[in-house]
Structure 1
Amino acid sequence: MAIDRRGAEAFRRGLAAFAQYTEREQKTVIPRQHTERIVVEGQEHDVRLGVWLTNQKSRHDRLSGEQLAQLAELGIDWAQGRQSDHGPGRGADSLAGDGAPGPDLSGAQLAGRHQEFICRAAC
């Protein structure tokens, strides 16, 4: 179970880093080499955000419906509409679509999502 907990924590940190990045940059396209620094419970974490996002896409079949919904909520188009295809732990073996990042969101949309995901990671 320790591995599952670490994986869940890493996923939450990745979401928080993605939300922070998209709020600041006003876009959802992230260079693969980008590292984002976040603070969770008073501790700084460097998240290799570009790599994290690429890994989530390549491992989409192992993401839960809730994780896919969280990614979709932040504007990741390859995750949109897929959460219903996935059960609590595993899902469909393949995704349709071009895999490109979702559309850029307005500042207000990103700010609200950023606060929500930062709270999820830190609370």
Structure 2
Amino acid sequence: MQKEFGTYFAIAGNAIKSLTIAYPKFIFGCMVVLMLVSLVLSFTVFRHPEKAAATVVTKVSPVEDGFSQILRTTGNIRETMQLKQLVDSLTAKKQLSGRDSILLDSALSRLAEIHQSLK
């Protein structure tokens, strides 16, 4: 790679070096101007407004929210107990049929979903 493009990089490097030696104040001024433009743009154009207006707060009574959470948790516990009983009865069998395997797989998947929702 250096054999192919090395001469071009050397020519470009020498040209940039000669420009910086010939016009150092101009190069410094350009750098300062570009930094100021970047500063102005970063605080104006490229600023991302916060999405506070997008969030809508609905007023829910804490009592209603608490009761609905209790009912949801109770339902999850009841379903978990039923699924555990189903899994225990299926694992007690010596050999599972195709239907039993599907039931066991779906019960374990549902138990994993309930476990994830509790986290």
Structure with the greater relative contact order (CA < 8 A, sep ≥ 6): 1 or 2?
1
More helix by share: 2
Q: Same fold per TM (> 0.5)?
A: no
Calculate the TM-score normalised by the size of structure 1.
0.30
Higher Cα Rg, which structure = 2
TM-score by length of 2: 0.31
